[in-house]
Amino acid sequence: MPDNPQALPGQAFALPGHTVIALEGRDAAVFAQAQFMNDVKPLGEGQWQWNGWLTPKGRVIALFALLHLSDQQLRLVVPDADAAALAERLRRFVFRSKVAIAVREDLHAAGRWGRPAQARDAALAGDEDAGLELDYSGDGEARSLILAPAPAPADAEAAARWALADLRHGLPRLAAAQAEHWTPQQLSLERLRAFSVKKGCYPGQEIVARTHFLGKAKRGLVLFAAAAPIAEGAEVRCAEAVLGTVAASAGSGDTHLALAVLPLEREAQPASIDGQPVSEQPLLDGLAR
């Protein structure tokens, strides 16, 4: 099958591992503003952004798309993480806030290659009853993510190519073993405009702001291609020296990609992962929201 994602335009396919968490209630937006790393306040109704939740030490617990349906209705589209466990952890911080947090098992995520029908950039289209559409397009790849009551057909190859597209655009798909290891700057999440250094306090904010304002971000994401699968957590080596670690990887057919956290200042030298040579690839833009 060709590796070109445009080979199946218009056909929706299930996105395994993507789960929806609902935040509902009078204080839903206030709760999200206090807990998550991006600024929710400027987000208008019917818009979405990249966002995430950090440990107090500024490590990314989960990265997700935050959908602002209204101040009392927010949705988190969470890839890869255990959504039930994440929702339970979030509930511990509700205290007296008027917000209910629940996994929406009745909503299913699907992907579709090609120009979105109505959604554009950060503007949502549709509704949860008929299908809520998000524009996941980036440079060179038009695609949309749909949340709908009915699941789409499974297509493992299409889902694998979707994960490759995420990595090409610098969206790290964090497996459970990679959660709570990396700061937003180490994952280069400024490329997605996924965190704020100017809004008020949130867990991990002090670490994020200090790194930003003191200019101490020394590591970021690098995209590598290889001929064989790459494991998350594998070491990236140059000669005998360990340069960094693979944070996310994906593969489809003969294409295998990895996002690794490496020093921002380093010499251009041949690298290898688990003994196989890898080639550095440019990250694509256009997925910031």
Query: Contact at 8 Å (CB) between 194 and 206?
Result: no
Q: Coil, helix or strand for 273?
A: strand
Q: Sign of torsion, CA 27 32 35 41?
A: negative
Q: Strands (DSSP E) along 154-234, which ranges?
A: 219-226
Q: How confident is the model at residue 4 (pLDDT cuts 50, 70, 90)?
A: very low
DSSP string, 60-72: EEEEEEEEEEETT
Question: Residue type for 230, please?
Answer: I
The DSSP 8-state label assigned to residue 6 in this structure reads G
Domain range summary for the chain, segments of one domain joined by +: 5-165, 176-281
Cα R_g (the chain), whole angstroms: 19
Tokens of 146: 């749909």
Q: Sign of torsion, CA 157 161 166 168?
A: positive
Buried b / exposed e over 8-47, threshold 16 CB at 10 Å, is beeebbbbebbbbbbbbbebbbbbbbbbbbbbbeebeeeb
Q: How confident is the model at residue 185 (pLDDT cuts 50, 70, 90)?
A: very high
pLDDT of 7 strictly over 90: no
Query: Contact at 8 Å (CB) between 179 and 81?
Result: yes
Output phi, psi for 219, to 5 deg.
-130, 155
What is the tens place of the pLDDT at every residue in 189-231? 999 999 999 998 999 999 999 888 887 779 999 999 999 999 9
Q: Coil, helix or strand for 41?
A: coil
176-281, which class in CATH? mainly beta
Tokens of 171: 């969206």
Tell me which residue of 182, 134, 188, 166 sits closest to 20, measured CA to CA: 134
Query: Contact at 8 Å (CB) between 278 and 258?
Result: yes
Question: Residue type for 210, please?
Answer: R
Q: Check residue 180 and give its pLDDT.
A: 97
Q: How confident is the model at residue 3 (pLDDT cuts 50, 70, 90)?
A: very low
Other residues' Cβ atoms within 10 Å of the Cβ of residue 275: 8
Q: Are 5-165 and 176-281 in the same CATH fold?
A: no
Question: Residue type for 142, please?
Answer: A
Query: What pTM value is reported for the model?
Result: 0.94
pLDDT of 274 strictly over 70: yes
Q: Coil, helix or strand for 164?
A: helix
Tokens of 281: 């690839």
Q: How far apart are CA 103 and CA 152, in angstroms?
A: 19
Looking at residues 42-67, what average pLDDT do you find? 98
Q: How far apart are CA 202 and CA 194, in angstroms?
A: 14
What is the chain's mean pLDDT, rounded? 94
pLDDT of 88 strictly over 50: yes
pLDDT of 52 strictly over 50: yes
Structurally, at CATH architecture level, domain 5-165 sits in 2-Layer Sandwich (3.30)
Those residues whose C-beta lies under 8 Å from the C-beta of residue 241, and which sit 6 or more positions away, are none
